[in-house]
């Protein structure tokens, strides 16, 4: 752990070189409030090693980081009875809205359908035959043989 990048804003947060409001920290992850507070309690969980995105994780790092998520999520939920649910998001790549290239997981508490946070899933099922779905699945499945 702890291979940090001099110029990375989240590595600076790990080193406390810039102010941050920590909600949980151990030897593997740091969890701190997102500056924008999409909803109250919006938290980022970051590995304490500079890894740009999910594509760069190995299995050990993934196990270590993701194993922390449920207890942090539970603590956030328990902190306010008004929290009814939570969106957990991980953006990878600029096209997927990633803006900080030190991997992070958003924990976004949800208070109501009108709490200001939204996501849109498009239903394109009418454009997909079973054959088209199978072709896509096969193309992905074949990649595992390269491992």
Active site residues: 104
> What letter would DSSP give residue 130?
H
> Per CB under 6 A, does 5 bind ligand 5GP?
no
Q: Distance from CA of residue 84 to its chain's centroid?
A: 19
Residues that bind Zn ion (CB under 5 A): 5, 8, 10-11, 50, 102
CB of 40 to ligand 5GP, least distance (A): 14
**Which residue's CB is nearer to ligand 5GP, number 32 or number 39?**
32
**Which residue's CB is nearer to Zn ion, number 18 or number 113?**
18
**Tokens coding 115:** 């709490």
Longest CA–CA separation in the chain, Å:
53
Question: Of 13, 44, 45, 47, nearest to 27 (Cα)?
Answer: 47
78-93 burial code (b ≥16 CB/10 A, e <16): eeeeebeebeeeebee
Which residues on neighbouring strands pair with residue 24, listed in sequence order?
A: 31
> Per CB under 6 A, does 115 bind ligand 5GP?
no
> Per CB under 6 A, does 34 bind ligand 5GP?
yes
91 binds, among Zn ion, ligand 5GP, none (CB under 5 to 8 A by kind): ligand 5GP
Q: Which range of residues in 34-42, 67-75, 127-135, 137-145 is near ligand 5GP by CB under 6 A?
A: 34-42
Length of the chain: 147
Contacts with ligand 5GP, residue ranges (CB under 6 A)? 9, 18, 20, 32-36, 44, 91, 97-100
């Amino acid at each position: 752990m702890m291979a940090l990048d001099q110029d990375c804003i989240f590595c600076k947060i790990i080193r406390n070189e810039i102010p941050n409001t920590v909600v949980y920290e151990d030897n593997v992850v740091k969890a701190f409030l997102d500056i924008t507070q999409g909803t109250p309690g919006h938290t980022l969980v970051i590995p304490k090693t500079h890894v740009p995105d999910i594509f760069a994780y190995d299995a050990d790092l993934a196990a270590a980081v993701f194993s922390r998520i449920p207890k942090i999520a539970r603590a956030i939920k328990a902190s306010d009875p008004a929290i009814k649910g939570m969106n957990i998001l991980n953006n990878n790549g600029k096209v997927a809205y990633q803006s900080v290239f030190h991997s992070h997981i958003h924990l976004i508490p949800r208070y109501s359908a009108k709490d200001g946070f939204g996501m849109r899933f498009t239903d394109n099922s009418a454009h997909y035959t079973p054959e088209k779905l199978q072709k896509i699945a096969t193309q992905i499945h074949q990649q595992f043989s390269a491992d």
